Amino acid sequence: MKLSEINGESGNIEIKVKILSLSKREITTSKGETVYYYGLVGDETGVIPYTAWEFPAPIKAGDVVQIKYARSKLYNDRMRLYFDSKTEIIMKPGEDIEVKRTYKETKLMDLSLKNLFVTVTGKISNMSGKEYNKAGNTFKIYNGFIEDDTSRVRISSFGQQLENGKIYRLVGAKVSEFNKQLELSIGDKTEVFPEEEDMDFERYYKLFEVDNPAGGITILGFIITLGTKSGIIKRCSECNKPLSTGVCPDHPDRPTKLDIFSYFTLDDGTKYIQCIAGKNAIMPFLGIKDADLPRVAGEIYKMLDDKLYGHAVRVNADFIKNEEELSLRVNSISAITKEDIEKDIRVSQ
Ligand SMILES: [Zn+2]
């Protein structure tokens, strides 16, 4: 028998597997202190978790064992093996098994550094390639976004181009953290499967529902404070650094450019959160263009105060994580429409 053939409850499983991990836990029951073991076993067809009430002492992770009289049962939606006093576990020294890696099917909202390799399904957007030279070889890295019905995150792909607007299932994509957000990458070992169906997304959330640095999220709320230092700032046109003196220490002869820096607190009735918004979010909302920035520099705070402070808005934003605290980096702001309110009522119900 192979692991992939185990399905449903059975009391008499005989199987050869490799012990992939082995942990021990002590618990106190009505009968006193007791110990159990748990971990993962694998074979050529898959990996499944186990719980063992008895375990022969010399066996360790990496060993191949023949198991007789094990039980199987669904636990938390996943098949699990159970070894008890009736189970025989026999070492197979010198034998090895090539274990098939499996990766947990994960929604983008649930990405975590605790699970570095995952299977995700999502739609690709804004993907473009850049060439790099390293040790005489040219290779291409593609950067863009992947989104599902829960979140949108950055994705990079080494050498392999994915088509914008298409849905892919990525088996063994890698999770990492960059710029206070989680992102995915596709490497040599990631399997890429184009999917047939299309997906459309409306990711409305209440603030209390989000505890992950998820991206592309829509929140409806009131702006309850506006940061007093919000306004026009100068940035280096080369490195984008904000310049308090007007001259970049690293690029003194490069021109500067104007940006808007604004920060405010958004309250959606379940929680409030700190937000930052730059010119890409603010200018369309205020109805101004790049060329207007020098002219409106003096009155920008008043414009923000008039149109943001105390108003109900619809914000599309990425959550970012500083230490344990989440805040929002705003992609776009708009006034709340009747349609938004209807959706909000539907989400709340
Ligand atoms: Zn610079």
What's the token pair of residue 260?
């808007």
User: Separation of 307 CA from ligand 1 center, angstroms?
Assistant: 32
Domain extent listing, the chain: 3-91, 104-194, 207-348
Please tell me the least confidently modeled range out of 19-28, 86-95, 222-231, 304-313.
19-28
- Higher-confidence position of 139 and 146: 146
Instruction: Report, as an integer, the average pLDDT of 343-349.
Output: 62
What is the pLDDT at residue 134?
81
pTM of the model: 0.69
Cα(255) to ligand 1 centroid in Å equals 9
State residue 154's pLDDT score: 96
Q: Are 10 and 3 in contact (CB under 8 A)?
A: no
What mean pLDDT do residues 253-278 have?
Answer: 95
State in Å: Cα 249 to ligand 1 middle.
7
Q: What is the mean pLDDT of residues 56-73?
A: 92
Residue 213 CA to ligand 1 center (angstroms) comes to 28
pLDDT higher than 90, residue 346: no
What is the 8-class DSSP label of residue 204?
B
What CATH architecture is 3-91?
Beta Barrel (2.40)
Question: pLDDT band at 14, cuts 50/70/90?
Answer: very high
CATH numeric code, 104-194: 2.40.50.140
pLDDT tens, residue by residue, 39-56: 889 999 888 889 998 888
157, 100, 150: which is closest to 127 by C-alpha?
Answer: 157
pLDDT of residue 102: 76
Q: How far is the CA of 180 from the centre of ligand 1 (A)?
A: 22
Give the dihedral sign, CA 228/232/237/243. Answer: negative
Three-state SS for 4? helix
Ligand 1 mean position to 259 CA, how many Å? 14
- The half-sphere exposure of 95 on its side-chain side, counting CA atoms within 13 A, is 14
- Structure tokens that stand for 342 in this block: 């209807």
Report which secondary-structure segment, H or E, holds 229. Answer: none
Tell me the mean pLDDT in the region 304-323.
Answer: 94
Distance 246 CA to ligand 1 centre (A): 11
More confident residue, 170 or 200: 170
3-91 shares its CATH topology with 104-194:
yes
Lowest mean pLDDT among 22-26, 173-177, 274-278: 22-26
Separation of CA 278 and ligand 1 centre (Å): 18
User: For all residues of the chain together, what is the average pLDDT?
Assistant: 90
Q: How far is the CA of 321 from the centre of ligand 1 (A)?
A: 26
Q: Which of 273, 292, 104 is nearest to 300 (CA)?
A: 292
258 C-alpha to ligand 1 centroid (Å): 13
CA of 253 from ligand 1 middle (Å) equals: 9
Element spanning 303, H or E: helix 300-307
Please indicate whether residue 198 or residue 277 has the higher confidence score (pLDDT).
277
Which CATH code, of 3.30.2350.10, 1.10.1040.10, 3.40.50.1700, 2.40.50.140, is assigned to 207-348? 2.40.50.140
| Residues with a beta carbon under 5 angstroms from ion ligand 1 | 236, 238-239, 248, 250-251
Q: Which long-range contacts (CB under 8 A, 24 or more apart) does 138-146 make?
A: 145/215, 145/216, 146/108, 146/120, 146/122, 146/170, 146/184
Ligand 1 midpoint to CA 43 (Å): 54
CA of 235 to the centre of ligand 1 (A): 8
Q: Name the more confident of 277 and 323.
A: 277
Residue 334: per-residue pLDDT: 94
Average pLDDT value for residue range 201-216: 90
Q: How far is CA 345 from the centre of its chain?
A: 27
**What is the rounded CA–CA span in Å between residue 176 and residue 235?**
28
Render pLDDT for 147-173 as a digit per residue (tens, 0 to 9).
999 999 999 999 889 999 999 999 999
**Confidence check: pLDDT of 286 > 80:** yes
Residue 236, pLDDT score: 94
